[in-house]
């Protein structure tokens, strides 16, 4: 309901939501079968309990994120609602990396934020405007080089962040996104990424090797910038990757403080190990020694991100 209540404000701010989020929108379906298979339901919900054509409370796939069109230039964008009291540094760090001169550095793969809007209804809510991205798992990789290029960019960006003493603390496959405008010349559906933007058929695309797309790290809700003169330590909470050994030790001692920089290193490698299972793909097994070192149980034995980048480049 947040987005429906902000429909007029967003229009005044030059961002147009899809018709479904207009306050006066009504479903166009005429039967239960139409509703079950319609874009109006499937494209915006995770679970629908009532398949009738009545207006119901339905859950967005992620209620804090929505797609929109910039009226000024026609570009497709993503809007994210941020509750300031819950995520203290997300806007500050996101705009830090989105501002010149950092935004001009090709090593910077932090998602660019073009604008920050403040809710006229909720003083605790802000909305950041980002490019519309898609998850990195699709389209599938056709070559080893395509896979390596994705992680080259991830390694490069985390090294860039760490040089400014910023730790992400929530690196996971869900927080690495693909800028796919070159891959999908005719676009894709904002929620059903495998389909075209009208949800009438599959979205056509070229291969990654034909355009070498750019990838971005998103979601700075748990990120922090540390004092370079102090030994960094922190309590890591609510990270998407809960498999790190230090987090298991944290359960035994909730007051324990951890090195967040080595946690980032672990999370990058664990995407390759857990999500892509590279040990089962012989062409990718050359990465295993580096992945094993980056995921050692003892955080102090892991390489720094700069050491990991140097080894990655030599592979």
What is the reported pLDDT for 48? 37
User: What was the pLDDT predicted at 41?
Assistant: 55
Q: How far apart are CA 294 and CA 159, in angstroms?
A: 14
Distance in angstroms (rounded) separating the CA atoms of residues 15 and 67: 10
pLDDT of residue 205: 94
DSSP string, 122-161: -TTEEEEEEE--EETT-SPP-SHHHHHHHHHHHHHHHHHH
Element (H or E) spanning 293, and its range? helix 288-294
Q: Would you kindly state where each structural domain of the chain is located, as residue ranges?
A: 2-131, 134-314
Does residue 188 contact residue 200 with C-beta atoms inside 8 Å? no
Spatial separation of the C-alpha atoms in residues 265 and 38, rounded to whole Å:
43
pLDDT of residue 198: 79
The pLDDT value recorded for residue 238 is 58
pLDDT number for residue 62: 79
- Contact by Cβ (8 Å): 135, 141: no
| Amino acid 248: pLDDT | 80
Q: Which CA distances in Å does 44 have to 39, 63, 276?
A: 8, 9, 28
- The architecture in CATH of the region 134-314 reads Orthogonal Bundle (1.10)
Tell me, what's the pLDDT at 47? 35
In this predicted structure, what is the pLDDT of residue 98?
Answer: 98
pLDDT mean for each 10 residues of the chain (315 residues) = 93 93 75 56 42 37 89 95 94 98 98 97 96 93 97 98 96 96 90 83 93 97 90 67 82 76 96 96 97 96 98 94
E strands within the chain? 15-16, 65-70, 76-83, 115-118, 125-131, 134-135, 166-167, 176-179, 214-217, 224-225
**Sign of the CA dihedral with 299 first, then 305, 310, and 315 last:** positive
Instruction: Kindly report the pTM of this predicted structure.
Output: 0.88
* Helix, coil or strand: residue 242: coil
CATH of the domain spanning 2-131? 3.30.200.20
């Amino acid at each position: 309901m947040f987005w429906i209540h902000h429909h007029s404000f967003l229009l005044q701010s030059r961002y147009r939501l899809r018709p479904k989020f207009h306050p006066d929108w009504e479903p166009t379906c005429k039967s239960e079968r139409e509703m079950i298979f319609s874009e109006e339901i499937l494209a915006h919900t995770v679970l629908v309990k009532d398949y009738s054509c009545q207006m119901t409370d339905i859950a967005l796939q992620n209620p804090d994120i929505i797609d929109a069109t910039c009226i000024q230039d026609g570009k497709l964008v993503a809007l994210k609602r941020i509750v300031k009291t819950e995520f203290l540094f997300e806007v500050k760090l996101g705009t830090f990396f989105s501002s010149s001169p950092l935004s001009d550095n090709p090593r910077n793969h932090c998602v660019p934020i073009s604008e920050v809007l403040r809710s006229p209804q909720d003083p605790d809510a802000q909305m950041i405007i980002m490019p519309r991205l898609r998850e990195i798992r699709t389209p599938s990789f056709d070559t080893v080089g395509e896979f390596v290029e994705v992680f080259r960019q991830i390694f490069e960006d985390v090294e860039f962040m760490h040089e400014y003493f910023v730790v992400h603390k929530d690196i996971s496959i869900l927080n690495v996104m693909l800028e796919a405008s070159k891959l999908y010349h005719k676009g894709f559906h904002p929620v059903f990424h495998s389909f075209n933007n009208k949800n009438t058929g599959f979205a056509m695309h070229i291969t990654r090797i034909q355009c070498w797309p750019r990838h971005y790290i998103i979601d700075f809700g748990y990120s922090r910038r540390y004092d370079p003169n102090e030994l960094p330590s922190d309590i890591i909470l609510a990270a998407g990757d809960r498999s790190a050994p230090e987090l298991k030790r944290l359960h035994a001692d909730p007051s324990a403080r951890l090195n967040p920089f080595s946690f980032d290193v672990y999370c990058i490698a664990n995407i390759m190990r857990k999500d892509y299972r590279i040990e089962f793909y012989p062409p990718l097994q050359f990465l295993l020694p580096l992945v094993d070192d980056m995921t050692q149980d003892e955080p102090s034995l892991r390489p720094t991100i700069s050491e990991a980048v140097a080894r990655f480049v030599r592979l």
